[in-house]
Structure 1
Amino acid sequence: MFHILSFLCATLALVSTAQSTGVIVPLYAWPGTDAWTTVYESVAAHPSVPFYLIINPDTGPGATEYPDEPYINGISKLNSYPNAHVLGYTYTNHGTRAKSDVEKDIAAYAKWTNYAGKDISLAGVFFDLTPNGEDQSKLDYFQELSSTTKESGLNMVVFNPGAKILADVADWFAATDFIVEYENTYANWMALAPTEHLSKQGNDAKKAIILNQTPADASINTVVKLAKNMGLGAIYLTYDENYMGLSSVSKVAVAVSQRRKVKRKGYTGH
């Protein structure tokens, strides 16, 4: 009986890991003229898949107290879906941008919770251009930004070095909910074994990858299946490199939503 229970628990854990992978989308396209429609449709069609959607009104929140009306309408619509987690973009210039300026962006995003007309509250902040840990003097800067973000009521923190963390790996992952350890081309991803692109000290559920310049004939399903088998927390593939096109969102969402079959000793679980 013990062996049967152990087997079932292991099987369920594997299935759970496969289902936990989410879709992370740099949602940088202007939300007017139905540009985000494919995102709405994908989020609605796959309610069990978490979507992490990064909005960027003006290389950050912008100079006004609240975003323009198209963003207000778009964010509030995204917030109507329980599986959508909207993140506000800011940047750090690899830890050289004045921390006070980054904190102003955090405070501005936090204030959106107070908007009376619609729900434009954000789930968290996406910090772009973060370092890869090689310069160990930068860690305190980012630990403090993470604490400030969560103390402001923005509960999700994502760092984007776009490359694997090289030092103090455990400390970097402890300070965040996700780290984008790969943001580069599809060709570069395929050139090496996937594990070569990522840090090796676990934390797989907190790792995210973003592949750009994906060829039209590339197998998105194959890349997503591998990411799910690795237990990665989030993935995205896009055909362009500036993230203005969103035509791949539905394909990535379908691939992520597919339940992986677990086979062991003749048993197939779904």
Structure 2
Amino acid sequence: MVNLAMAIAIPLYIYPTPGAWDPLYKAISAAPDTTFNVIVNPDSGPSDGASNPEVVSAVTGLRSYSNVQLFGYVHIEYAQRNATVVHQEIATYASWKKTANSDIHLDGIFIDEAPYELKYLPYLKDIQDYVHEVMPESHQQVWTNPGIPIDAQFYEYADLVNAYENSYDDWNAGGKDEIPECLRQKSTVMIYSFPDSDAQLSNYTESTIAAGYNATLLTTSAGYTEFSASLMQFVHDVDSLTKTTKVKTLPQCAEECEE
């Protein structure tokens, strides 16, 4: 049994009007020992974020925290989107820089609507290769989001895989058992429509840490356009329970996950 520091996943699909991201800044400040993996999404992609003063100011605010990793949002329509357009958006994020007045550089790319059929593995390999080509060294993480458990081969072309995105009712009805143990250290989960219950939240957080997931989101909202009413409690639980909860030794993929 070992301790494993589980991160907090934040799909930040809230436009940064003045004060709009303050709840997140507060949460990050309250848990300096916990990593926040934040997905920045100016407009279903980079849009004009690098030249938008509100986006630049808000992202610079996030960059000021040492416990934050930033990922630029790109959607690929389950491998149906033109690869050239996807490359253009990744290249735009790669151009986000640290300057004398701001710092909006990213740590990687979040690939939404990722495919789950093996025939699309070359498409995802192309994305990973392109991220490694254009993103600065040490800022080349690829985080894919099929939203469901997928074949272990997909993990070869991602640093992280969001292998579950569904309601708490679905998760509690059996979804939590669908992701193989050997893949959990590279898997994230995003659970929405959680009941507003501190006791249930703490139980969920402890069990998710113990299960060995890399990062998780739990929100009382049905989507990601507002901050959860339980955000501060969730952050507190992750921060405190990660330090005390033991994670069992997980099997290697060769033992359990090969097809």
Normalised by the size of structure 2, how large is the TM-score?
A: 0.87
Alignment partner of 2:93 out of 102, 109, 115? 109
**Cα offset, 1:222, TM superposition:** 1.2
| 8 A Cα contact 1:40 1:78, kept in partner | yes
**Alpha-carbon distance in structure 1 between the residues aligned to 2:38 and 2:93:** 14
Q: Which residue of 2 aligns with 1:78?
A: 62
Query: What do residues 81-120 of structure 1 show as CA deviations (whole Å, max 9, x unaligned)?
Result: 1110111101010001011111111000000126553001
SS in 2 for 1:147: helix
C-alpha distance in 1 between matches for 2:175 and 2:90: 36
Deviation at 1:140, TM superposition (A): 0.9
The corresponding residue for 1:30 is 15
Tell me the residue number matched to 2:84: 100
- The match for 1:190 among 168, 172, 180 is 172
Q: Deviations over 1:32-63 (max 9, x none)?
A: 1311111111112211111001111111001x
- Give the alignment of 1:97-246 within 5 angstroms: 97-113=81-97, 117-132=101-116, 135-152=117-134, 153=136, 154-165=139-150, 167=151, 169=152, 171-192=153-174, 194-196=176-178, 198=179, 200=180, 202-217=182-197, 219-246=200-227
CA contact (8 A) 1:94 1:131 kept: yes
Q: Distance in 2 between matches of 1:65 and 1:48?
A: 29
Distance 1:158 1:257 in 2: 22
Contact 2:210 2:245 in 1 (8 A): no
* TM-score normalised by length of structure 1: 0.84
Q: What SS does the aligned partner of 1:143 have?
A: helix
Instruction: Please say if residues 66 and 115 of structure 1, whose CA atoms lie closer than 8 Å, have aligned partners that are also in contact.
Output: no
CA displacement at 1:206 relative to structure 2: 0.8
Is the 2:16–2:55 contact (alpha carbons within 8 Å) kept by the matching residues of 1?
yes
**Residue 35 of structure 2 aligns with which residue?**
50
Shift of 1:186: 0.7
Distance 2:59 2:27 in 1: 15
Sort the Cα spacing of 1:187 and 1:262 in 2 relative to 1 into closer, same or farther, 3 A: closer
CA distance in 1, matches of 2:51, 2:207: 38
Distance 1:99 1:222, change over 3 A: same
Q: C-alpha separation between the residues in 2 aligned to 1:261 and 1:251?
A: 17
% identical aligned pairs: 26
Matches of 2:246 and 2:76, distance apart in 1: 41
Q: 1:104 to 1:115 in 2, by over 3 A?
A: farther
State the AA in 2 paired with 1:180: N
Residue 71 of structure 1 and its aligned partner are, at CA, apart by: 1.1
Q: Unaligned 5+ residue runs, structure 2?
A: 248-259
Give distance in 1, aligned partners of 2:140 and 2:182: 22
1:249 to partner: Cα distance: 2.6
Would you say the 8 A contact 2:206–2:245 is kept in 1?
Answer: no
Distance 1:201 1:45 in 2: 30
Asked whether the 8 Å contact 1:178–1:206 carries over to 2, the reply is: yes
CA-based RMSD: 1.8
Q: Does the Cα contact within 8 Å between 1:26 and 1:243 map onto a contact in 2?
A: yes
SS state of the match for residue 103, structure 1? helix
Q: How many aligned residue pairs are there?
A: 240
The answer to whether the Cα contact below 8 Å between 2:210 and 2:246 also exists between their aligned partners in 1 is no
Flag the structure with larger Rg: 1
